[in-house]
Amino acid sequence: MDSSRSFETHDSKGSDLSKGADPIRARGHRGGVISMHRALTHFRLGTMNLIIASSLLVFFSFAWLLLLPQVCRLWTRIFTFGIRSLPLRAELGLAEHHWAPFLSFDIPYLKMEPVLPSARVWWLSCAVTSLIFVATYFISKRLIPVIYLLRAILLVQAIALSYFALIPARFPHTPDSYLAGFVTSGIGLISLVPHVFGLTYYIFDFGLLKKALLTSITMAHLALFLPFQVLLQALVLQKTVLFMPVLYIIFGMPVDVMLVIGLYSWGMTWSFRSESA
């Protein structure tokens, strides 16, 4: 077959290209026309979309502020249940916050004694880190992303091992300050969800109900996920603070951000209002 014919194959949307545009810029490496992404074809930043986006942003931000004291009380109950039910040597701490004259609440967190790594724990962690690093060379090359992710995690842990081998007494963080900051950061992330979606999701033509539903699911999921994430990290930190860097850098707030991205991506697969009409 003549190879020149492959350059004649094009998408039905290719005929929409303007005559003045360079046709090469809109073609893939096989000659086919690269059609516009479905999200951009439904991007209509009209007056009504702006009004809906602004209204949803104000509504969810205000609703979150009103519900935040009740959410903190729910987290307090979950932490209390976790302390009683799990093999966790921790106490419940409350940090009082005043964000406005009408808004005052106590942010719960877990208090525990910092434990520096013993020689046995350090050598065991070093051995496990080394073994996993060697094992990455035996993983199939089809799983390259998994290999890179594992090596990134191992790099963080290797730096932590080096730090605690040289200057362990100078480690500035305690589980108390870390967990309290983690809960506060989680509140900040949930508070940003309406703003992020206002710039990246509300501007598309999904309809009011779908926009409100995705925002509600995302904020509720994060609010329920955070206390269990804190309990799991506390179970690790009660052994030693050696694992605090990898918990913070890899398994901390990045996990919550990936949850937001995942739910946003799911929402972008929903049918647009004009498609369902």
CA 193, 199, 205, 208 torsion-angle sign: positive
**Statement: residue 30 has pLDDT above 70:** no
Q: Report d(CA 118, CA 168) in Å as an integer.
A: 10
Q: Mean pLDDT across the stretch 83-91?
A: 93
Contact 268, 197 (CB under 8 A): no
**Statement: residue 250 has pLDDT above 90:** yes
For helices 253-268 and 175-200, the axis angle rounded to 10 degrees is 20
Amino acid letter, residue 5: R
pLDDT in tens, 117-159: 999 999 999 999 999 999 999 999 899 999 999 999 999 999 9
Q: Report d(CA 176, CA 221) in Å as an integer.
A: 25
**Statement: residue 230 has pLDDT above 80:** yes
pLDDT of residue 120: 94
